[in-house]
Amino acid sequence: MEKIEKNPFEKEWNSLHQTIPFSSIHTKDYEPAIVKGITLQKKEIDAITKNPAAPTFENTIVAYEKSGRLLDKASSVFFTLMGAETNDEMQELAQKLMPLLTEHATNIGLNKLLFERIKTLYHKRQELSLTQEESKLLENSYDSFARNGALLEEAKQTRYREIKQKLSQLSLDFSEKNLKETNRYELLLKLKKEVKGLPDDSIEKAAAKAKERGKVGFLFTLDAPSFLPVMTYAQNRELRKALYLAYTSQCAHQDEWSTLAIVKEMVSLRCELAQLLGYNTYADYVLTHRMAKKAEKVYQLLEDLIKAYQPTAQKEVKEVEKWAKQQEGDDFQLRAWDWAYYSNQLKDATFHINSEMLRPYFELEQVKKGVFGLATKLYGIRFEKTKAIEVYHPDVEVFEVIDEKNNYLGVLYTDFHPRAGKNSGAWMTEFKGQWKEDGRDSRPHILLVMNFTTPTPSKPALLTFGEVTTFLHEFGHALHGLLSDVTYESLSGTNVYRDFVELPSQFMENYAVEKEFLSTFAFHYQTHEVISDELIQRIIDSSNFNVGYACLRQISFGWMDMAWHNRETAFDGDVIAYEKEIQKKTQLLPDTPESCMSSHFSHLFAGGYAAGYYGYKWAEVLDADAFSLFKEKGIFNAEVANAFRKEVLSKGGTEDPMVLYKRFRGQEPTINALLKRNGILND
């Protein structure tokens, strides 16, 4: 009789730190594990609801928190790899699994018996002598049910289920169409003169990409390492224009990859869902669980920043256009596809600095040493590379993270370069979070995914300064996960309000222009000379170049997000026309009719940032205010770093974030530190 092999997700993983045995997992394993995980969690919840004993924190809240571990185990691996190492088979499976998972989650959220037990505890919470973390878990449990329809009458609950199912499917469709649109696009040039101005390694990569696809010439795609050098350096204006229009009009054409109908339907369904739950708008619904609390406060922040930065931004545009006219003639009109090219020239002429000049000092291996070393300086932790832990792709590296007392702190996976099965962009995620149980501290397994410049046959991976900053940003998220010290996984690490989660990441970006930090790792990859003080000073001097333009651009995304999600009615108009109207308030360059941000704005329609994109600017106010204390006391000051770790990084979502921030900083933040950092406000 043939032996039936046990599903790998049902086994106890005996690997180092119980890390994922990727070689033992196949696509066929996900569905049965997830289906069984759903069945098991149903039984676990039935056991809670059928418990004859009166509800207690342990037999209800903790039991609910611990339920679904097999489901979490399988689905976290599946959906993490959907972003980092996907294929057609997995995408097809995702279409099958998402309705099951959404239905299961909705069924739990509308489970009356479970909610009754939670509600009983919530209403007598003052009598339960709970710790701060226990109180937050109880509060979150109650809010989760209330915000997910548990208080609705039956007919409205039915409609709620339908909306949740549809939104889940639409989000998945949006993501898949974006990935396919990005992957299918290519632009082939035949002549060397057509790629004039591009750095040698960009030309080399474009030639290699063409050869890889059986073509002759120079092939460009919409991946960042291909797209950005063209926009910054290509003398060929038609090349810049073609690539820019392709990038900014992704999924906005009347074809099978269009997401315009998805955007309309998602916006309308979100509005209906919010109103079912008693809110005027989807933004109102979302913001009750954000630091901002109300849409008015978001608009106030955006308006304050527009007022502060718009004059500077308008001046910057005039200066870049003046520079361009000096090169091209008085009839030249600066367009969106010209901005990066001419602003980079002006920056180079003003500060004698550009990305290609800096690249030789940012060899990826050295950058890793610098970024990891920064965590050592601040928090005493170190990263030890290991081959003893399996990876899902040969590009991936793994590090054991060790704390200042030589204790194991967690696992960090890094995946730095683009490939066909990987979404564009950069992000931090986790295969498992941190929790404590029965005296054991179960540590997190964190993944950093990037799409950095790749090595060439003649050069190692040399990063742009922007890529170094991106590394620092995502590494800040990783530290938030790795330094978590809480009891319950749902409150650990980055499980915090969206407008707070970017504080640890954007805080780390401050170090990118600090001489004391750069001098620890920025060595020329050929000569091994440390980056000069003069070059560092030029980086510092140029760090606020076009800061007004950059701020207005970011605000425009937040403004668009609020325009989509602070509506009180369904949307049945023209997506592109509506977006154009929204953008007028922050528009600095002539409109490009073909462009549409919403059609490929994954943060809003596939990434959980709906009604929350303002959070990047909110967190920027926080990070500037927080870093001003380090600037005052010393950027590696152990006392301040320990306070930041203790009150911000280790606490996860166990307390209201403003309470945590004020405990660290001693005051609420203002925009003044950000304005000073950006040179908008003088000391």
Q: Which residues pair with 412 in a beta bridge?
A: 399, 446
SS3 of 85, please?
Answer: coil
Instruction: Tell me the C-alpha distance between 463 and 470, whole Å.
Output: 10
* Helix, strand, coil % in the chain, rounded to nearest 5: 60, 5, 35
Residue with tokens 């937050």: 136
CA–chain centroid gap for 636, Å, is 26
Residue partners of 43: CB distance under 8 A and separation at least 6: none
User: DSSP labels for 157-185?
Assistant: HHHHHHHHHHHHHHHHHHHHHHHHHHHH-
Residue type, 597: M
CA–chain centroid gap for 615, Å, is 11
Size of the chain in residues: 683
DSSP letter, residue 530: B
Instruction: Tell me the C-alpha distance between 296 and 656, whole Å.
Output: 20
CA-atom Rg of the chain in angstroms: 25
DSSP letter, residue 399: E
Active site residue 139: no
How many angstroms separate the first and last alpha carbons of the chain? 80
Exposure string for 638-676, b = 16+ CB within 10 A, e = fewer: eebbebbbebbbbbbbbbebeebbeebbeeebebebbbe
Q: Which residues pair with 447 in a beta bridge?
A: 413, 429
Q: Tell me the longest C-alpha to C-alpha distance in the chain.
A: 85
Q: 51, 142, 33, 157: which is closest to 107 by C-alpha?
A: 157
Report the run of H or E that residue 382 belongs to, with start and end. strand 382-385
Q: 113, 108, 111, 256: which is closest to 178 by C-alpha?
A: 256
Find the catalytic residue in 356, 430, 467, 474.
474
Both tokens assigned to 515: 């001489």
Residue type, 422: K
DSSP letter, residue 36: H
C-alpha to C-alpha distances, 623 to 45, 541, 613, nearest whole angstrom: 41, 20, 16
CA–chain centroid gap for 46, Å, is 36
Residues annotated as catalytic are 474
